[in-house]
Amino acid sequence: MGKIPVGVLGATGMVGQQYLALLARHPWFEAVYVAASPRSAGKLYREAVFGKWQHAASYDAERQCWDYGGTYAPQVGDLTVEDAGNVEKAAELSRKGKLSFVFSALEMDKDAVKALEERYAAAGIPVVSNAQANRWTEDVPMLIPEVNWAHAGIIPAQRKNRGWDKGFIVVKPNCSIQSYMIPLFALLDKGYELKRVFVTTMQAVSGAGFPGVPSLNVLDNVVPFIGGEEEKTEQEPLKIFGRLQDGKIVNAASPVIAAHCNRVPVTDGHTACVSVEFGAKKPGIDEVKSIWRAFQSYPQEHMLAMAPEHPVIIREEADRPQPRKDRLMEKGMAVTVGRVRPCPLFDIRFVGLSHNTVRGAAGGGVLNAELLKEMGYIG
């Protein structure tokens, strides 16, 4: 059977290029449609991205490992970039069975992204989004498959609410929370109530897109502010930990999260220093580590192509995790944790690390699409 034809909106950006590097070798999906701003529209894809970033992680077949230097498939370089605003072009391909769904990696005004993603969905094209625009839309699930895959079950209600036939929208959360959400969920899942979380993030420059933070602002420096990031870090986990009820996602009431988000001169990989306070029942450090070691991806029997075999990897060395050494673990999809120890203010503390453009962006989006295929929503 042939591969499922997919599109990437925002294909020329940092995340869009990472999508195309991951899709170049994907077993189920094939990129056939690339779209971006009117600035890029009409150019061949390889011309539109010439001189832009191209620092994607992908599988190096010769050395048989994941590394940098990944790029799009040769035939993608010859695609003409479409104007993402020209939904009719994509709808025509969809009607002919030549486009199944799109990944959205658009960076533009939030309301404009929301309206555009809704136009794609209304035209019958499912949207698997990275953008923040629809994260707080009530009937749109914000998915991390290992944590809340069941929230995808809201899709029929979403279609019904909007009168959409085939289209729908799902989103993935902000990259800043990926370094600790799976470890926290693993503990919650074992019955340890999460009361309060104190988190300080050290976020890579690639998180700001291309061209991103001016080099003279960030080299030899730490910038203790990233617009909107602390709010997302504190609030998005509550939707993800929420429950599906009557066609809606009801947010969890806890944990209360306090976040400090910093931009640091690292290319890829967001690090988070996390302190956690539990409810009455508190796990010891050994129990925490054994829960994380045993935690498995979204039902293991349906192992998804992009899913890490071990979603949480524990490093015992005193100086790990480190972005350069640990960000590509398990295809860039694992969270690497270290320095797991008691906390004198709360109960435990640890350092978590995840790759922001893979697990935190394109890899997370591909994993969401794999989940939706497995659940029968796309294909």
Q: Which residues make up the interface to ligand NAP (CB under 6 A)? A: 10-16, 36-37, 39-40, 84-85, 105-108, 130-132, 175, 206-207, 209-210, 356-357, 360-361
Task: Give helix 181-189 / helix 285-294 axis angle, nearest 10°.
Answer: 100
Of the two residues 11 and 32, which places its CB atom closer to ligand NAP in the complex?
A: 11
Tokens (6 digits) for 150: 């069941």
Q: DSSP letter string over 318-332? A: TT---HHHHTTHHHH
**Angle in degrees, CA 306, 307, 308, rounded to 5:** 115
What minimum distance in Å lies between the beta carbon of 127 and ligand NAP? 12
How far apart are CB 364 and ligand NAP at their closest, in Å? Answer: 8
Smallest separation, CB 40 to ligand NAP (Å): 3
Quote the least distance from Cβ 96 to ligand NAP, whole Å.
23
Task: State yes or no: is 273 an active-site residue.
Answer: no
The residue from 26, 55, 151, 270 that is catalytic is 270
Beta strand extents in the chain (DSSP E only)? 4-9, 29-36, 56-60, 65-70, 82-83, 101-104, 127-129, 169-171, 194-203, 243-245, 248-250, 256-263, 270-278, 312-315, 335-342, 348-354
Catalytic-role residue among 55, 175, 261, 355: 175
CA gap 100, 342 in Å, rounded: 49
Ranked by CB distance to ligand NAP, the top (closest) residue is: 13
97/227 with CB nearer ligand NAP: 227
Catalytic status, residue 26 = no
User: Nearer Cβ to ligand NAP, position 108 or 244?
Assistant: 108
Distance between alpha carbon 96 and the CA centroid of its chain, in Å? 30
Burial of 160 (0-12, 13-18, 19+ CB in 10 A): exposed
How far, CA to CA in Å, does 110 sit from each of 2, 14, 59, 315, 373? 35, 18, 33, 38, 27
- Provide, rounded to whole angstroms, the least separation between the CB of residue 368 and ligand NAP: 12
Nearer of residues 335 and 340 to ligand NAP, judged by Cβ? 335
Burial class (CB in 10 A: 0-12, 13-18, 19+), 303: middle
Instruction: Name the residue nearer to ligand NAP (CB basis): 208 or 288.
Output: 208
User: Catalytic amino acids?
Assistant: 175, 270
